[in-house]
């Protein structure tokens, strides 16, 4: 019988430091068995459990897009036992991946729509997956205007800096990169908190969905901006974090009300969240 707790073995191909404070690293993983890669069919928005034998497992959003073949990427924040161990891993090391887990951004609903993506800090991982997915030539025609507001406290803390700069140059996506503040005289982009920049750029809410991922404080102040711009709760989408262990809705710990964040989420609309207890 299939054991959903058994991870696929993977090899670390590279691990690079994303941020100036060295707290975020992007790890690129390759499946040891090609049939495992076939089984790991994922959709942007999903996560996986990264497994290190002897240390444990952690639930991390998938940062790569399914349009990128031959590898999967995760950006890991160093907060505890397993993430610290992963940060110290080297190319060639063996670990495990279980997944893909969770639900995904509602791509069927997003067909033909405009998208406003708002991200803050290191919550940008599944948003990268989504942007790479949408910008792929096979997918771009399916979507309308794409507007992105992404900010961090200062330039060194932005993820995927080179890709951000490249997207900013494109004309099929409107990038608004911002930082809370900077002393860099060569900073080319915006300066201001994400909620303020979102309000300033005032993306169109007509025929639009908003996807928002970020620290609680950013979400708290951006939601009123989106609401004022005309986004109703059922068209504001968010991805939640929770302490998880099994990731498949069995160990019981990640519930909000009757929903498991790992199985019924982590993607929820604001409308769904408004019907759940405020315990997350």
Partner 1 sequence: MTEIYIAKDKLPATIGKLMSEHRVYGPVFEGQYHEFVELKAGDEIDLAYQNTRLSPKGLFHPHSEKMCQFSLAKDDPEAGIMKEAPKDYSPRIILGIRPCDAKAFRLDDANFDTPTIKDPWWTQRRATTTLVGLGCNQPCRTCFCTSVGTGPFDPSGLDALLTDVGDGFMLQAVTDKGKRLLSSMSDGEPVPPAVGEEAAALKQSAEAQLGTQFEPKAIAEKDMLELFNASFWDEVQFSCINCGTCTFLCPTCWCFDIQDEVYEAQGDRIRIWDSCMFPLFTLHGSGHNPRNLKLQRVRQRFMHKLKYYQDKYQDGVACVGCGRCVKFCPVNIDIREVARLMSATCVCPA
Partner 2 sequence: MQGYTERIQEAARRLLVDKQVDVVIGFRKGTVPLMNEPFLAKNVDQVRQLYWDGNCGMNLANYLPKRTDRIGIVAKGCDSRNIVIHLLEYQIKREQLYILGAPCRGMIDRRRILASLEGKDPSSAEEKDGVIKVVGSDFEVTLDRQEYLQENCSICIHRNPVIFDELLGEPVPEQQNVDRYPDVNQVEAMSPEQRWVYFENLTKTCIRCYACRNACPLCFCPTCFVDESRPQWIGKSIDPTDTRTFHFLRAYHVAGRCTDCGSCERSCPVGIKMRQFTKKMEKDIKELYGYEAGVIADQRPPLDTYRPDDPQQFIK
Residues near partner 2, by CB under 8 A: 80-81, 84
Shortest separation between residue 257's beta carbon and partner 1, angstroms: 6
The residues that bridge with 150 in the sheet, in sequence order, are 119, 177
Binding positions for partner 1, 259-278, rule CB under 8 A: 263, 275-277
Cα-based distances in Å from 22 to 87, 93, 212: 9, 20, 24
Query: Is 79 a binder of partner 1 (CB under 8 A)?
Result: yes
Shortest separation between residue 228's beta carbon and partner 1, angstroms: 25
Stretch (H or E) spanning 256: strand 255-256
Q: Please give the full DSSP string across 69-122, using - where no structure is assigned.
A: -S-EEEEEE--SHHHHHHHT--TT-EEEEEEEES----HHHHTT-EEEEEEEGG
Measured from the CB atom, the residue of 54 and 137 that comes closer to partner 2 is 54
Measured from the CB atom, the residue of 86 and 197 that comes closer to partner 2 is 86
Stretch (H or E) spanning 166: helix 161-169
Measured from the CB atom, the residue of 56 and 144 that comes closer to partner 2 is 56
Alpha-carbon distance of 260 to 249, in angstroms, equals: 6
Alpha-carbon distance of 84 to 121, in angstroms, equals: 19
Stretch that binds partner 1, among 73-81, 124-132, 167-175, 190-198 (CB under 8 A): 73-81
Binding positions for partner 1, 99-128, rule CB under 8 A: none
As to burial, measured by CB atoms within 10 angstroms (0-12 exposed, 13-18 middle, 19+ buried), residue 55 is middle
Shortest separation between residue 55's beta carbon and partner 2, angstroms: 10
242 binds, among partner 2, partner 1, none (CB under 5 to 8 A by kind): partner 1
Query: Is 96 a binder of partner 1 (CB under 8 A)?
Result: yes
Query: Is 252 a binder of partner 1 (CB under 8 A)?
Result: yes
Q: Which residue of 255, 265, 269, 273 would you call a contact of partner 1, by CB under 8 A?
A: 255
Tell me the three state secondary structure of residue 238.
Answer: strand
252 binds, among partner 1, partner 2, none (CB under 5 to 8 A by kind): partner 1
Measured from the CB atom, the residue of 165 and 242 that comes closer to partner 1 is 242
CA angle 30, 263, 144 (to 5 degrees): 75
Q: Are 98 and 5 in contact (CB under 8 A)?
A: yes
Shortest separation between residue 84's beta carbon and partner 2, angstroms: 8
Under rule CB under 8 A, how many of the chain's residues touch partner 1? 47
As to burial, measured by CB atoms within 10 angstroms (0-12 exposed, 13-18 middle, 19+ buried), residue 203 is buried
Query: Is 90 a binder of partner 1 (CB under 8 A)?
Result: no
Residues contributing to the site for partner 1 (CB under 8 A):
1-7, 9, 32, 51-58, 77, 79-80, 83, 93-96, 216, 241-243, 245-246, 248-255, 257-258, 263, 275-277, 279-280
């Amino acid at each position: 019988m299939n054991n959903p707790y058994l991870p696929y073995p993977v090899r670390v191909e590279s691990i690079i430091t994303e941020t100036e404070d060295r707290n975020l690293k992007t790890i690129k993983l390759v499946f040891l068995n090609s049939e495992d890669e076939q089984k790991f069919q994922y959709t942007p928005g999903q996560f996986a459990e990264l497994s290190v034998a002897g240390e444990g497992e952690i639930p991390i959003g998938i940062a790569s897009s399914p349009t990128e073949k031959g590898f999967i990427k995760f950006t890991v924040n160093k907060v505890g036992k397993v993430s610290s161990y992963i940060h110290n891993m080297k190319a060639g090391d063996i670990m495990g991946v279980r997944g893909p887990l969770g639900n995904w951004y509602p791509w069927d609903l997003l067909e033909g729509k405009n998208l406003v993506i708002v991200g803050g800090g290191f919550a940008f991982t599944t948003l990268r997956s989504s942007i790479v997915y949408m910008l792929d030539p096979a997918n771009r025609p399916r979507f309308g205007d794409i507007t992105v507001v992404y900010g961090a406290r200062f330039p060194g803390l932005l993820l995927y800096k080179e890709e951000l700069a490249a997207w900013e140059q494109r004309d099929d996506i409107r990038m608004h990169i911002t930082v809370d503040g900077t002393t860099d005289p060569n900073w080319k982009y915006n300066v201001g908190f994400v909620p303020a920049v979102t309000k300033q750029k005032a993306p169109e809410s007509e025929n639009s969905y908003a996807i928002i991922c970020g620290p609680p404080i950013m979400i708290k102040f951006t939601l009123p901006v989106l609401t004022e711009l005309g986004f109703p709760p059922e068209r504001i989408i968010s991805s939640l974090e929770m302490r998880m262990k099994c990731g498949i809705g069995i160990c019981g710990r990640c519930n909000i009300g009757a929903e498991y964040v790992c199985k019924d989420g982590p993607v929820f609309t604001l409308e769904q969240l408004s019907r759940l207890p405020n315990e997350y």
